[in-house]
Structure formats: structure tokens, C-alpha cells
Amino acid sequence: MCQLLGMNCNVPTDVMFSFTGLATRAEEHKDGFGIAFFEGRGLRHFVDHHSARVSPLAGFIRHYPIQSDNVIAHIRKATQGQVLLENTHPFVRELWGRYWVFAHNGNLKDFHPPLHAAFRPVGDTDSERAFCWLMQELAKAHCSVPSIEELSLTLAELMPRLNAYGTFNMLLSNGQALWAHGSTRLHYLLRQHPFGRVQLQDEDLSLDLSQHTSPLDRAAIIATEPLTRDEPWVAFQPGELKVFVGGALAG
Amino acid sequence: MCQLLGMNCNVPTDVMFSFTGLATRAEEHKDGFGIAFFEGRGLRHFVDHHSARVSPLAGFIRHYPIQSDNVIAHIRKATQGQVLLENTHPFVRELWGRYWVFAHNGNLKDFHPPLHAAFRPVGDTDSERAFCWLMQELAKAHCSVPSIEELSLTLAELMPRLNAYGTFNMLLSNGQALWAHGSTRLHYLLRQHPFGRVQLQDEDLSLDLSQHTSPLDRAAIIATEPLTRDEPWVAFQPGELKVFVGGALAG
């Protein structure tokens, strides 16, 4: 199984602490990693098919304080598709003049949907096929740019159709909202005032959030497994789709 | 005017030396930089809307020996569009299951083509509009994946239609070939055996290529202005489109 990490904030925030927690888990998920940061409509997208434990790129990102309001990261343990750069999550496509970023944890068996529209996979993973199919179905469902609420309704219809093929824990963002679907293993945490000291689950590293935040800051963190101790992580129910906007649950 | 750099090789090669030469020119082109490296079908894409002179990302790339057979880099001096991440070249889209990378030097006046298909600009530059229009017209001209020769013929028909709006020096690659169009200022160089010592034009830095190559290696370098002294750079004629495959001129 791969590991997912998502962050959605009301104020652009760096993700160095959480990414360090995620990268710690890269030992057993050594088939690459990737992370995408939205800055407004713009996107920074980093992928490497080497382990986040040894990749110079991961080392650089751990110390590069990119301020972003929507982040999606992934460390990979290949189930389908070779260990190649084109198979490394997150994947990116453009739709309606917005970049869309997608990462998947799970395994879709015999999922070969008809991809007759403008979105084709570059690599050979079930995950990228699922993303291309999602983009195709979103484009078919809405002739112009829908609201976040409308997108959430359409996605809620599409998720079970993918989940039927196996496990489908996923993160999706267009820079305005972050959608998370739990199939078997996904957790989220809403961080807000008052902020205290938090400690990484897997590493002897802690951070006093009150030193890095203002009282109005809000952040939602979504991860395969809780990344920190002593914070109220909530498990997704199987089949649950949640949408995060401005660091809070929407809808 | 911005500065372009492209590299097309028969053996994956790092571009650190040429990128150092390009980044030296970032002082007067301070509105961001970007570079994209193909590795087979996969892509590494780095953009920053800060000058390559001061960006930590540019510093990282200068010392990160990414081996690639097709590279496109760009340093930006904004003519249209604000200094924002989404306006930073090169731009990326997917078509026919391949990533396409595009960078532009020049200025297209009043270029607002009908973009009715699957490619929409995320930012607000003439360059990204031109790229979306190119992708749209390629997709319209070929119902399935064309050969490099067919793509070159279609691109040769499309280039004058863009050039009519102003200056259009551009680089385009899908990882199989690199197309370069010269409008006002573009040069190329074919590097092959015997390799000697080369010296950057703008910086007191030289490299003995024979220490880093084998006799069969070939590389084409395309740049706005020649990057090195004492090498046979060739100027593009106005309106000339060239396609580079395996480090050599094709067609």
C-alpha cells in the first residue's frame, strides 16, 4: 500500500513538518514519491521514482518552505505499473483552465475504462487510468466550470463506480478545494486555534505550532495513517467522500 | 525578451553546464524560470516565479545531474501576464498519452484564438494561449498518434499562423523529438565526436566534454543566443522550423 498526504489551508502554509513525517515511511514504500503544491492557480509538481528516503529531491523539499494552500503528496509501493517516472503520483491534468492533481492508494483490478475523450494515461498504472476516467466524466457532466458543491455531487456519484474495482483511497484538488475519498484507510485532522506542540508519530521530532501560526489559521491534514500523536485524527468510513475548503470541512 | 534553452540527445545527458550558462542571463530576465526534463515518457517539471539568480530551486537544479534526452528551459522577462507561477514557462499538457512541453520567446499581439476544445490556459499569457491553440490544432489534424514526420508537417503549417501575430521563437517536445521555430532570435549547435573543451559565453567556466562523453554521443543544443564560445552555433532563419531527434537534425 502507498501512503497519501494532503493539506488544505485557509492561509498558505508550508508542509515541511508533515512531509518529513511522510518521508519517514518511505522505507517500505520505496518505489518513488511525489508532491504537488498549488500557489493560487499555479502549481509546483515534484516527482521522483527513487525512495523519498534517499532522493536528493526529497531532501531539498524537506527544507524548502513552499507556502501553499493545497498540497497532495504520495509515496509509492508499486502494485500495478513499473517503477518509472511516468507512473509516479501525483498525476496532473488541466481541465476548464485549472490544474487538477490526483493521488491514489489502493488497487483497482481489471479497470480498463473506455477513454475516448481528451484524457489519456501516459504511464501504465490503474491509478492514472482512474484519474483520466474521472477527468473525462467530470468534463462530460459539466459543460462549463461548476461550483465546488456541484463538483462534489458529481464526484460522489463517480467514487462508488471506481471503488467497485477494488480499493480506492484518493486525494484530488484543483487548487480551490481538496476532495478525499476513503475506501479502506484514510484519516483526517482539523487543526485550528488553540495550537499546541505536536509530535510526529514515527520520528523523534516535534513542533510548537503556536510559534508558526496566527489564531485565525486553519488547516486540514489528510493522511493514510495519523502522522502525529496526541491530535484528534478521524478515520474515514468506507466509501466516505469529504471536501475540504479553507482548512475546514465543507458541505 | 526571454531566453530559451533546449537540448535533444541520443543518450540521456545532464544539462547542468548549459543551465548554468542560461541562469547567468537571469539578471535581466528576472520574472521566473522553468525547466522540464523528459525521462522516457515521464517528465520532471520545475518552475519558479523568482529569478534563477536567487531561486533555491535553480541552485538545486544546477547541481542535480538529471539525465534526460529532451530538455526545455526558459527564463522569463514578462511582456504579457503578471509575474505569477501559472505564467511561468515551460507549460505542460497531455495529448495522445504523451506529455507535451512548450516554451516561447517573443510577443503575440492581440492573439485570442477560439479555444473550444480540451486545452485551456490556466494563466494569462499569450504564450500559454499559443500552446493551447497548437495542442488543439494538432488534436484536430490527427485522429490518432502521428509519426514525427507527420507532426512536423502539421507544425510547419501552424507556425506561420502564430508568427503572423508577432515574434514567435519557440521550443516544443513530446519526449520523442524537439521542435524549434525561429522567428527573430534562435540558434542551434550540433555537438558530436570529437569533443573538446568548451567555455561558457557569459561566465568563466569551461568543461572538457571528452571527459563526459563517449564517441557515439550526439546532442543538439538550441538557445536564444549561443551559450558557448568557439563552437559552430547556427542562426535560425526567420520562419524556420527544425526538428531534432536523437541529437541530430531530422527531416
Answer yes or no: do B120 and A99 touch at CB < 8 A: no
Res B19: pLDDT? 85
CA–CA dist A218, A241 (Å, integer) = 20
Say which residues have a Cβ less than 8 Å from residue B76's Cβ, sequence separation at least 6: B2, B29, B31, B32, B33, B34, B83, B87, B88, B89
CA–CA dist A251, A210 (Å, integer) = 28
Q: What is chain A's mean pLDDT, rounded?
A: 92
Nearest CA in chain A to B136: A118
* φ/ψ of residue B210, rounded to 5: -65, -20
Q: Lowest-confidence range among A26-30, A58-62, A104-108?
A: A26-30
CA distance A220 to chain B (A): 24
Model confidence at B223, pLDDT cuts 50, 70, 90, reads: very high
Nearest CA in chain B to A99: B122
Model confidence at B26, pLDDT cuts 50, 70, 90, reads: low
Res A149: pLDDT? 97
Most confident range (mean pLDDT) of A54-63, B190-199, B239-248 is B239-248
DSSP secondary structure letters along B176-227? S-EEEEESSS-EEEEEESSP-EEEESSSS-EEEGGGS--TT-EEEEEESS--
Model confidence at B191, pLDDT cuts 50, 70, 90, reads: very high
CA–CA dist B243, B251 (Å, integer) = 7
If you average pLDDT over residues B171-200, what whole number do you get? Answer: 95
pLDDT, tens only, A45-58: 999 988 888 889 98
Query: Peptide bond before B90: cis, by omega within 30 degrees of 0?
Result: yes
Q: Is B12 left (phi over 0), alpha (psi -120 to 50) or beta?
A: beta
Res A145: pLDDT? 85
Answer yes or no: is pLDDT of B6 > 90: yes
Nearest CA in chain B to A117: B118
CA–CA dist B159, B131 (Å, integer) = 11
pLDDT, tens only, A23-45: 887 666 688 999 999 999 999 99
Largest CA distance in chain A: 51
Model confidence at B27, pLDDT cuts 50, 70, 90, reads: low
CATH architecture of B3-250: 4-Layer Sandwich (3.60)
Domain ranges of chain A: 7-78+90-242
Answer yes or no: is pLDDT of B21 > 90: no
Res A26: pLDDT? 66
Res B226: pLDDT? 94
Let me know if B143 is a catalytic residue: no
Res B68: pLDDT? 95
Answer yes or no: is pLDDT of B34 > 70: yes
Compute how many other C-beta atoms are within 10 angstroms of the C-beta atom of residue B128.
Answer: 25
If you average pLDDT over residues A210-235, what whole number do you get? Answer: 93
- The C-alpha cell at B210 is 571528452
CA distance B175 to chain A (A): 11
Contacts of B121 in chain A (CB under 8 A): 97
Of residues B54 and A97, the one with the higher pLDDT is: A97
CA distance A95 to chain B (A): 7
Q: What is chain B's mean pLDDT, rounded?
A: 92
Give the ipTM of the model, two decimals please. 0.94
Res B23: pLDDT? 81
Percent with pLDDT over 70 in chain A: 98
The reply to whether A99 touches chain B by the CB within 8 Å rule is yes
CA–CA dist A103, A86 (Å, integer) = 13
pLDDT, tens only, A143-181: 888 999 999 999 999 999 999 999 999 999 999 999 999
The reply to whether B49 touches chain A by the CB within 8 Å rule is yes
Answer yes or no: do B85 and A117 touch at CB < 8 A: no
Span A7-78+90-242: which CATH code?
3.60.20.10
